[in-house]
Chain A
């Protein structure tokens, strides 16, 4: 039966860095340097304080230089919060708050690797500055009758070899319990115990976050793992991921650092972009409503040799909106050919071919069920209808659905782009949507990506496969969350969201449960920057626009989403919920 050290080998940090040191927080242990840790690794920086053990703040990521922007360090998150885990055992509810009282250990490591085949739970990665927090909870059996209170697991229990049972194991019965006249019989009761691991594992850049390795991103994995010595009837957990309200991205020649060059106070109130405040309101065509945004210039860039030429007009540059915006997308389950064409430069990644459902500039308060065992169990069965523009009208297209697939597959939080000024002045008409251009299907400008499902990919890309009963990376096109979990994503603001899961089926004792196993990523660049530049220049759909459009990345993204005929602009894939024109 596993003891604590054996159990922790299942974590991502200790898989990548088995010799990582830890600071002990159990009773009687030396607290060391006050329980706070702050600093920057080669790429990632963050702060954690034991007194606020349930959160990581001031998360930054150092981007390398690309043809489109200089090397720089960006605020990625104001904070990430692990909310209390709620469990039910035999009808009794337990609320596990990740506070200093229950914190046992904090591991840290700044380097380590996971190689192919090393773990069935963790794909290959090289880690940068990372952390593992270990919390221990047990039911206080001395509490008043009818009440459930929790206390930290004592050190001596953690050291036992039978600290947790083997998966699904039934504990041995104590046998016959008899006492005679001169005897006292003592029966020890074993309380329900839960071990919780909160990891914040930051990874270096890889190209395994999209099909065909087209994007270079740095993953970070802020997941929860917990294991209980009793079967559980229900669990619920939530993690809040909060970006700064405005982007700190700097581009060549933009002058002073944009407003978020310094970390935003994570405890400042989130902006008041309420569900219906207009900023994020739906305009009927799924685009932004023309709310005035601050913008920063994106001057021309220097292509790497042997590059195809400089995108962007130095006198009429692209612009970026400072404020973050959030969008949801669903992959087309038959879109793999489009990804392949994208890699071969044989077809532009139009939204109508890449996606099945989309919603941009999503307002705060919006919430969707993103994956659930209650949803379709029949792959290929039509789930919802997309409306695609065929040049004359919108055509209804029934989308095949995969098992457990929910409303959307991913969320992206990034500052939108704006078309060059000359184009906006000439075409700045309602319905042209040139002031807020979402970057998809790939984006490198300070974009936080999270995909809880990818379209079905080949078995050469199992790292994009979802869970089945045996674990992760096992089922093409299925959600990347355990099969018994229901996932709901809820926007807390226009730049923050809560990832909420719950499960109502029995979870066996001695078995790790995972929350947000799929992790997130921060965009760096295109995996092949030359390919990206060729792709951009080869977009003939911009030929009918004035000259700056052909050099504009904003217009490139615009053309992937929209098509124009004279003064009429249509979405290639009608945004979810928009009326059919």
Chain B
């Protein structure tokens, strides 16, 4: 059987992984030990997957980076030998772009169009960060900091459409295997969103809200200064993307303003601006 996915030269992919949860559990009953785990974090990747088909459809990119924002708090509270409450924990707030790693998509069964999307199969996406730590144990309570590496890797199974087309990743959130974040375990809830889409290029602009989920904003009109010096209006599609054909390597587009003359954009103001490099097709 020959899959039509063999005819797809490249996919544009946006993956968004996030977690926002807090738990407090009695993990060491013998010493009245309670563990608090409180995280708010997201990892976003914007990249192309380029065809490298073998005997099955296969797409890959080995230079993907993820943009991470994280706030992590972990603490163990327990009763010491003298009946006193002891706390040991760490807190870290950090953000940045990870070291590059790979992402690949492989169709595993052509009949059912089942596929695996693997992120970091050759090694996790890593980002160094500093954790403020404390230990209130007597007689010498201590505090300081340690440097650690935050890791992200993920694998999920998904079903591709019979005819190549857009795939929404949130439909496959349940198929995430384990936790993608090194600070969480498999019991922690992780949200997945994003999409795979067949586009000839990557979007010039993407509009999203400022929440952890970075929900894409559709139908958002913007005014753009184009390389020819003209100012033109564009509108984001359902995925919050604005595609503009880019011919020359010297083309520069400037987002001048979000047109806020109608709801709901009239109730929004511009926030954070980030630029992701999306390497050309390998």
Contacts and interface: CB of A to CB of B under 8 A. Distances in A.
A189 B273 CA distance: 9
A469 interface: no
Nearest to B249: A181
B275 A141 contact: no
Residue with the greatest number of chain A CB neighbours at <10 A, chosen from B71, B209, B213, B265: B209
Given A154-B213, A185-B273, A188-B208, A149 B278 contact: no
B27 interface: no
Given A90-B266, A91-B266, A92-B267, A177 B212 contact: no
B206 interface: yes
A77 B255 CA distance: 57
Residue with the greatest number of chain A CB neighbours at <10 A, chosen from B40, B218, B252, B267: B267
B147 interface: no
A396 interface: no
Contacts of B46: 184, 186
B2 interface: no
A444 to B, nearest CB: 48
B270 interface: yes
Contacts of B276: 183-186
A189 B207 contact: yes
A190 interface: yes
Contacts of A177: 254-256, 273
Given A28-B20, A89-B267, A143-B263, A189 B275 contact: no
Contacts, number: 178
Interface string B194-209: 0000000011111111
Contact of A191 (B204, B249, B268): B268
Nearest to B205: A185
Contacts of B205: 179, 184-187
A7 interface: no
Contacts of A179: 204-205, 252-253, 255, 275
Residue with the greatest number of chain B CB neighbours at <10 A, chosen from A28, A181, A182: A181
A255 B276 CA distance: 81
A85 to B, nearest CB: 15
Interface stretch (A168-176, A263-271, A520-528): A168-176
A188 B204 contact: no
A154 B208 contact: no
A148 B263 contact: yes
B53 to A, nearest CB: 24
A192 B273 contact: no
B217 A174 contact: no
Task: Report the interface size class on chain A.
Answer: 35 or more
A189 B206 contact: no
Contacts of A183: 275-278
Contacts of A140: 264
B275 A191 contact: no
A460 interface: no
B272 A185 contact: no
Interface string A129-161: 000000000011111111111000011110100
Residue with the greatest number of chain B CB neighbours at <10 A, chosen from A89, A176, A182, A187: A187
A189 B209 contact: yes
Given A155-B40, A179-B252, A189-B207, A143 B273 contact: no
Given A156-B20, A184-B278, A192 B267 contact: yes
A28 B209 contact: no
A182 B18 CA distance: 26
A178 interface: yes
A180 interface: yes
Given A189-B258, A230-B267, A156 B275 contact: no
A184 B203 contact: yes
A167 B68 CA distance: 30
Nearest to A148: B263
B197 to A, nearest CB: 13
A148 B276 CA distance: 31
B279 interface: yes
Nearest to A154: B211
A28 B189 contact: yes
Contact of B217 (A141, A147, A159, A175): A141
A191 B267 contact: yes
Nearest to B241: A184
A257 B144 CA distance: 66
B214 interface: yes
A177 to B, nearest CB: 4
Contact of B268 (A29, A154, A178, A190): A190
A175 B251 CA distance: 20
Contacts of A155: 20, 40
Given A155-B20, A177-B255, A189 B269 contact: yes
Given A92-B263, A154-B20, A156-B212, A173 B40 contact: no
Interface of A: 28-29, 89-92, 139-149, 154-157, 159, 171, 173-192, 230
Interface of B: 18, 20-22, 40, 46, 71, 189, 202-220, 246, 248-256, 258, 260, 262-280
9 contacts: A89-B267, A141-B209, A141-B265, A142-B217, A145-B263, A156-B20, A179-B204, A180-B249, A189-B269
Given A139-B267, A141-B267, A156-B212, 5 more contacts: A142-B264, A157-B212, A179-B253, A185-B204, A190-B210
